[in-house]
Structure 1
Amino acid sequence: MIEGKLVRLRALRPEDLDAQLRWRNDPEVVHWATGGQPRFGPVTREALERFHEARLLEDPRDGAVLTVEERVDGRVIGMADYRDADPFTGRATVGITIGERDRWGGGYGTEALALLLDHLFGARNLRRVELDTWSGNERAMKAFRRLGFVEEGRRRKAVRVGREWYDEVLYGLLREEWEGATAR
């Protein structure tokens, strides 16, 4: 378990799947998390269980899905993950979703991502973390920049949101940038 002031990150439990299922089928959560609708329609509980069972079979050093819960009352409010952690290159890809809309804009996602970065750069000894979002997600991009992520490129008009096309924005953060950041 990794604890901050607002949230803690912990291992996924079976009872967390109900909240994840709700978020993955909430059009507004999906909109901000992915820039669009689920690609294959609504997510079923069975599909979500299969996804997590498959993740349990993978080497945990390669990645993990973590639950984000409030420290005050233990309420499950989101999920964070890292994947493709490669000790040879020292690199991983991360993601964060705060699924409870009443917790949007309150710093919960920023703190959860900061806790995950501390873990990956510290305990996992990675040298680089990367992530992406779509160019319409200004709130996410602001949080990423606040944590020290640098925009490294764009895939132009790569994400469709409704009838519009947006850029996929690619971000990276190096361990020395994280360690030198003062705005955490």
Structure 2
Amino acid sequence: MVTLIGNSVFLRAVEPEDLIAIHRIENDERLWAVSETLTPFSLHSIKDYLAHAHKDIYEAKQLRLAVCEINTKVLIGLIDLFDFDPYNARAGVGILIESQENRGKGYGKEALNLVIAYVKTHLKLHQLYANILEDNTASVQLFTHAGFDLVGVKKEWRRVSGEGVRSCLPAKQIRESYKNELLFQYLL
């Protein structure tokens, strides 16, 4: 069974040639809230990551795949398996379609379905889970339509600072707030 090739996208291992695209994605501060990133990544650190990305998921406990548009073969996003637990046969999954113009075209849906087929067929997982901020309606819809069930709400789980106004206000005027994180689960 072919699991990594769909009608509009295919999934592949990340390659050294993806350095600039991954650097751009990882350093886009607008995306840091969904990845729990607080500091930028250097080209050197991403190059080092790519040099070791060939490690088996059983050794690294994670797997990052490039989401590529099938006709152009251009990298349009990333899909990650993380917290891989072979004993309990589960992993977390996260997905990002980088460009706003590529969102809403079904690429994320197809990539998520491909990774579900991959983990069922090749990793023999029992379940996947996803953590999504409650205001990320596009991701909530994506995972819900893919068959993930909402199984919990982590109240005020993620701290957000100033929501983009940090540089405009003195530190003492920045209001801290917290967002709920939703836990979705998919039994395979």
Q: Secondary structure at the match of 2:128?
A: strand
* Match in the other structure for 1:120: 119
Aligned with 2:57 (options 40, 55, 60)? 60
- Give the CA deviation at 1:59: 3.5
CA contact (8 A) 2:15 2:50 kept: no
The equivalent residue for 1:130 is 129
- Taking only aligned residues, the RMSD between alpha carbons, in angstroms, comes to 1.9
Distance 2:63 2:48 in 1: 15
1:24 CA drift (Å): 1.5
Q: Give the C-alpha shift of residue 155 in structure 1.
A: 1.3
TM-score (norm 2): 0.82
Residues 7-43 of structure 1 show CA distances to partners (whole Å, capped at 9, x for unaligned) of 1000111011211111122233435x33x7x412x22
Q: TM-score, normalised by structure 1?
A: 0.84
The alpha-carbon deviation at position 54 of structure 1 amounts to 4.6
Mapping 1:1-184, distance limit 5 Å: 2-31=4-33, 33-34=34-35, 38-40=37-39, 42-56=40-54, 58-61=55-58, 62-161=61-160, 162=163, 163-175=176-188
Cα 1:111–1:75 change in 2 (3 A) is: same
Amino acid aligned to 1:150? D
- Give the number of the structure whose alpha-carbon radius of gyration is greater: 2
Following the alignment from structure 2 to structure 1, what is the Cα–Cα distance between the partners of residues 181 and 65?
Answer: 24
Where 2:179 maps in the other structure, the secondary structure is strand
Report deviation, 1:3: 0.6
Count residues with an aligned counterpart.
Answer: 170
Partners in 2 of 1:150 and 1:118 — Cα distance?
Answer: 17
Runs of 4+ in structure 1 displaced over 6 angstroms?
none
Q: For the residues of structure 1 that align with 2:74 and 2:52, how far apart are their CA atoms?
A: 26
CA separation in 1, counterparts of 2:50 and 2:132?
Answer: 23
Counterpart in 2 of 1:179? none
Q: Distance in 2 between matches of 1:50 and 1:67?
A: 17
Give 5+ residue unaligned stretches, structure 2: 164-175
